[in-house]
Structure formats: C-alpha cells, structure tokens
C-alpha cells in the first residue's frame, strides 16, 4: 500500500509520523520505502547518513523535475529504504507550471516501476497543497492527515479533503484518515 502523510498545516507531525511509522514497520520485518517529497528534507536528514553531501540528482528532484527513476538508497534503519529530498525542490511549482506532460503523475509513473519490492510505501509531504503534494496523492492508495486537537487545526481538514476529492477522479487516492497525533494533556 502507498500512504501519503499530508497536511497543508505546518508542524503537525507529518515527518515524525512518517519516520515513526516507517521505522516501526521496518522493525517488524516489513520491507518499507519512505519517499521524502518535502524540500525541507527533514526525514532525509534523519535517515540518510551522508545527507549534507547529497546532490539534487540523487534525490526526488531527479524524478519530479527530470523524470528519471527514483533514486532509492539504504537508510540508517534495516529494512527501510529511502528516496531523499533536496532543498532545490522548493522551486518545483515554478518549474512545473509550464510542463505539458502529466505533471501530477511523475512520482506515480516511477513508483509503479518499483512498488512491488515493498510491503509499505510512505510519502512524507510538504506543508502545502502544491504540485508535490498532488504528485504524492496521485501515487497513493490512502492519505493520512495528522491533526492536533483544536478548532483551527480541524478546519484544515476541510481544504485537504477537497483536494483529495479532486485527485480521486484519478484512480489511486480513494480514502483519507485524519489522525490525532499531537496533544497537550
Ligand atoms: N505526537 C506528537 N506529540 C507531540 N509533539 C510532536 C508529535 N509529533 C511531532 N511532534 C513535534 O512537533 C514538531 C513538528 O513535528 P514535525 O516536524 O514532524 O511536523 P511536520 O508536520 O512534518 O512539519 P512541517 O510541516 O514543517 O513539515 C516537532 O518538534 C516534533 O517533535
Ligand atoms: Mg515535515
């Protein structure tokens, strides 16, 4: 299954949930791939040993911008592979504006080639409903939305649900699940 962890709201626990879920499944012996599609690259900083020396063409940038195969590498955790991100990805929306191919499906096209190798594929999304997030949704079977309990926080679910609904017209993302992850007891 391919699962996007997404919310346009920042700092709600997307990356923490992605890493914890991926590491937990890998620890149980599942073969897991974590795709970091956020230009902040926080998952990559945690999971990739030589991250500071990583070039853009060794990251998801190669797939989203240059339409190359996914640059999968081993993570610091057994059974967990990772496709790292890169700061240059922050310019993606500008670069994709003039694209005339199926720009929303660049990740899906390359993920379809390798997804059979994994029992679980998780995608750590950026805090925006951008072309990167649309690429993640188009490649996903499910979307998990971390939310902190609170009025404004719950409000953010409305917009992201509408976006998922639009992408649902393409065949893959057919379900969302809001998940309360951050709380202040
Ligand atoms: N379940 C949790 N309970 C309490 N704090 C949490 C929880 N999950 C994450 N945090 C904390 O919240 C902060 C933001 O977490 P994280 O970076 O995972 O969010 P994010 O949604 O990925 O952020 P961004 O939108 O910038 O990518 C971090 O300091 C993290 O330690
Ligand atoms: Mg994050």
The residues spanned by each domain of the chain are 15-180
Contacts of 83 (CB under 8 A, 6+ apart): 33, 34, 35, 36, 59, 60, 63, 70, 71, 72, 73
Mean pLDDT of 81-105: 88
> Is the domain covering 15-180 a CATH 3.40.50.300 domain?
yes
Q: Is the CB of 84 under 6 A from ligand 1?
A: no
The answer, yes or no, to whether any atom of ligand 1 lies below 6 A from the CB of 15, is yes
State the distance from the centre of ligand 2 to the C-alpha of 40, rounded, in angstroms: 7
15 CA → ligand 2 middle, Å: 4
The CA 98 to ligand 1 mean position distance, Å, reads 34
Angle at 177 between CA 38 and CA 67, to 5 degrees: 35
Give kind and range of the element (H or E) at residue 82: strand 80-83
Could you give the CA distance from residue 61 to residue 179 in angstroms, rounded to a whole number?
Answer: 29
Q: pLDDT digits over 94-142, tens only?
A: 888 777 788 889 999 999 999 999 999 999 999 998 999 999 999 999 9
Measured from the CA of 12, which atom of ligand 1 is nearest?
Answer: 21
pLDDT at 173: 44
In this prediction the pTM is 0.92
User: How many CA atoms are closer than 13 Å to the CA of 128, on its beta-carbon side?
Assistant: 11
Per-residue pLDDT at 20: 97
Q: Which class for 172: exposed (0-12), middle (13-18), buried (19 or more C-beta within 10 A)?
A: middle
3-state secondary structure at position 109: helix
pLDDT at 172: 47
Structure confidence by residue, pLDDT tens digits, 148-177: 877 777 777 878 888 887 776 544 444 556
Model pLDDT for residues 20-66, shown as the tens digit of each residue: 999 999 999 999 999 999 999 999 999 999 999 999 999 999 999 99
Query: Nearest-CA neighbor of 127 among 36, 31, 37, 6?
Result: 6
- Ligand 2 centroid, distance to 138 Cα (angstroms): 19
Indicate whether residue 127 lines ligand 1 (CB < 6 A).
yes
Q: Residue 91: its pLDDT value, please?
A: 86
Rg, Å, the chain Cα set? 15
């Amino acid at each position: 299954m391919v699962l996007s962890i997404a919310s346009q709201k920042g700092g709600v626990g997307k990356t923490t949930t992605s890493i914890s879920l991926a590491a937990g499944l890998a620890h149980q012996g599942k073969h897991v791939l974590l795709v970091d599609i956020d230009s902040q690259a926080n998952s990559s900083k945690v999971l990739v040993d030589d991250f500071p020396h990583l070039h853009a063409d060794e990251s998801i940038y190669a797939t989203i911008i240059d339409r190359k195969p996914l640059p999968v590498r081993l993570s610091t955790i057994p059974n967990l592979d990772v496709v790292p991100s890169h700061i240059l990805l922050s310019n993606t929306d500008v670069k994709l504006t003039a694209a005339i191919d199926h720009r929303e499906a660049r990740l899906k096209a390359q993920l379809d080639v390798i997804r059979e190798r994994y029992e679980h594929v998780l995608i750590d999304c950026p805090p925006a409903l951008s072309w990167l997030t649309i690429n993640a949704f188009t490649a996903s079977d499910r979307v998990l939305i971390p939310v902190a309990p609170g009025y404004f926080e719950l409000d953010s679910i409305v917009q992201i649900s509408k976006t998922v609904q639009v992408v649902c017209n393409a065949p893959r993302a057919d379900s969302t699940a809001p998940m309360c992850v951050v709380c202040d007891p």
